[in-house]
Amino acid sequence: MTRFDTIITGGRISTASDTFQCDIGIREGRIAALGHDLGIADETIDATGKWVLPGGIDSHVHISQPSGEGVVMADDFESATRSAALGGNTMVLPFCLQESGVPLRESLKDYHAKAEGSCHTDVSFHLIISDPTEQVLGQDLPALVHEGYTSFKVFMTYEGLALSDLELLKVMAVARETRALVMVHAENYDVIRYLTDQLEQAGRTAPFFHATSRPVIAEREATYRAISLAELSEVPLMVVHVSNREAMEEIRRARQKGLRIFGETCPQYLTLTEGDLEGLNMEGAKYVCSPPPRDHESQQACWEGLQQGVFDVFSSDHCPFRYDDPQGKLTPKGRTSFRWVPNGIPGVGARLPILFSEGVVKGRIDINRFVALTATNHARTYGLYPKKGTIAVGADADIAIWDPGAKNRLTHAMLNDGADYTPYEGMELTGWPVLTMLRGQTIMRDGVLTGIRAGAHVARRISDHA
């Protein structure tokens, strides 16, 4: 009988489409067999009473990204992927930011150097296009797509990042030519600038007013505009971090017209509201992210979007800054106005346990939808399927074993990222990943990392949507 490196026995396996009971034989990092009585292996893992799922893929995280003068992101590749592994993930997709005046390839080389040898999970970079020069559009992007960087993020807001409609169209033209997938941060820059100025003039500078300065209208309008530009350009589009019903309706309408428009939402839009930004003193800064968390009705809308398919992917938008730190949320400038509070919150470790508990355990989504939203659809969307994102013979043995009955009160210590808080502190959660396996190697067992840093960069194919 053929020998395996590892056999996982007795677990209940779920993919995006099926649930079944069988053993998994793993050889040389891949799933080599699914069946019963698979024979002998160097190691047997008993998963009786547990769910055996594809390892989570978080296709929207920020790691070691330059964040403005005097501000430092809380995670490097080691700490971010450490938290990811603790939370049942086997892959994350961070961004390589094109910095002003720096050739895109040079930035990419820097990110690779930082990631090399540090990662507990696999990684693959998206590109953020902040300056679509002729060199970038004509030379760099086509070559980089060819080399496996098959998705770009563009921003419609933020100084130094926001692209004009003309620039968005130029990037989309390259996407059409190369079949790359465009991801868009959709908020109307001028609306936000106008409201921010007004609020500051009225002395309304506390973190709470971050939410006031970025209303639903600003997100809905930009979502509509981005979709229109994608329609004109005949390219698929991923609208990331969608926070509310009105923006969702734009995506839904586009989909009904047959356009290839896709949506992503994140834990903060299911669990937080703008009320969280109201904390005493600067406490509200812990929840400053964009788009901001909205209200309970928006949370309900986002759940419907996850159930009904408006959203294809559920990502963390992990963008961590320490709270009690002058290089983080308490940067001196941030105390003068919400305008300067570092924008983003941590979530890479919490994403899966939150969706499992609030979604699967509470009956809002089934386990197959959970797998689709947290792994399979990320793999399909970003050119990784079927190597990643499913449990099938031939796929990488990227697996998370879940104890569906484990009860935990979430603390930052359990997540162990580089920040000093979690916005989800104290949530009562049922279900927790007890083992994470990357390409056949156990990287986390019972909340403890094994120390194997076998994570590698994965070049991606063209998106299934392109």
Please give the residue ranges that form the binding site for ligand DUC (CB under 6 A).
Answer: 62, 185, 241, 289-290, 317, 319, 343-344
Tokens representing 219 are 């997100």
d(CA 143, CA 161): 22
Query: Which one among 219, 317, 358, 403 touches Zn ion, defined by CB under 5 A?
Result: 317
Of Zn ion, ligand DUC, none, which one sits near residue 223, judging by CB under 5 to 8 A according to partner kind? none
Q: Of Zn ion, ligand DUC, none, which one does residue 96 interact with (CB within 5 to 8 Å by kind)? A: none
DSSP of 371-419: HIIIIIHHHHHTT-TTTSSS--TTSB--EEEEEEEEEEE--HHHH--SS
What's the min distance (Å) between Cβ of 319 and ligand DUC?
A: 4
CB of 343 to ligand DUC, least distance (A): 5
- Judged by CB, which is closer to ligand DUC: 319, or 365? 319
* Closest distance to ligand DUC from the beta carbon of 262 (Å): 15
Q: What is the rounded distance in angstroms from the CA atom of residue 131 to the CA atom of residue 104? A: 10
How near is the Cβ of 60 to Zn ion at its closest, in Å? 5
Residue with tokens 């398919």: 309
| Interface pick for Zn ion out of 170, 185, 245, 453 (rule CB under 5 A) | 185
Which partner, Zn ion, ligand DUC, none, binds residue 343 by CB below 5 to 8 Å per kind? ligand DUC
Of 57, 53, 92, the residue nearest 75 (C-alpha): 92
Burial (CB < 10 A; 0-12, 13-18, 19+), residue 256, is exposed
**Partner whose footprint covers residue 9, from Zn ion, ligand DUC, none (CB < 5 to 8 Å by kind):** none
317 or 358, CB closer to Zn ion?
A: 317
How far CA 380 is from CA of 179, 202, 318, 332, 442, in Å, comes to 14, 47, 21, 43, 24
> What's the min distance (Å) between Cβ of 400 and ligand DUC?
24
SS3 274: helix
In the complex with Zn ion, which residue's Cβ is closer, 355 or 399?
Answer: 355
Distance, in Å, from the CA atom of 38 to the CA atom of 7, rounded to the nearest integer, reads 8
Please identify, using beta-carbon distances, which residue of 349 and 440 lies nearer to Zn ion: 349
Closest residue to Zn ion: CB criterion = 185
For Zn ion, which is the closer residue by CB, 150 or 316? 316
Q: Which stretch binds Zn ion (CB under 5 A): 120-128, 161-169, 180-188, 223-231?
A: 180-188
Rounded least distance, CB 25 to ligand DUC, Å: 39
Nearer to ligand DUC, 365 or 373 (CB): 373
We find the least distance from the C-beta atom of residue 373 to Zn ion, in angstroms, to be 17
How many other CB atoms sit within 10 Å of the CB of residue 40? Answer: 11
Measured from the CB of residue 348, what is the shortest distance to ligand DUC in angstroms? 12
Task: Tell me the backbone φ, ψ of residue 434, rounded to 5 degrees.
Answer: -105, -15
Using CA atoms, how far apart are residues 281 and 197, in angstroms rounded to an integer? 21
Instruction: Return the H-helix or E-strand segment holding 201.
Output: helix 189-201
Judged by beta carbon, residue 9 or residue 290, the one nearer ligand DUC is 290
**Secondary structure class of 63 (helix, strand, coil):** coil
# residues contacting Zn ion (CB under 5 A)? 2
The rounded distance, in Å, linking the Cα atoms of 436 and 85 is 6
Q: Which stretch binds Zn ion (CB under 5 A): 71-79, 131-139, 183-191, 278-286?
A: 183-191
Instruction: Map the footprint of Zn ion across residues 96-115, applying CB under 5 A.
Output: none
Q: Helices 216-233 and 245-256 meet at what angle, rounded to 10?
A: 20
Q: Please, what is the minimum distance in Å from the beta carbon of residue 185 to ligand DUC?
A: 5
Q: Which amino acid is at 290?
A: S
Give the residues lining the site for Zn ion (CB under 5 A). 185, 317
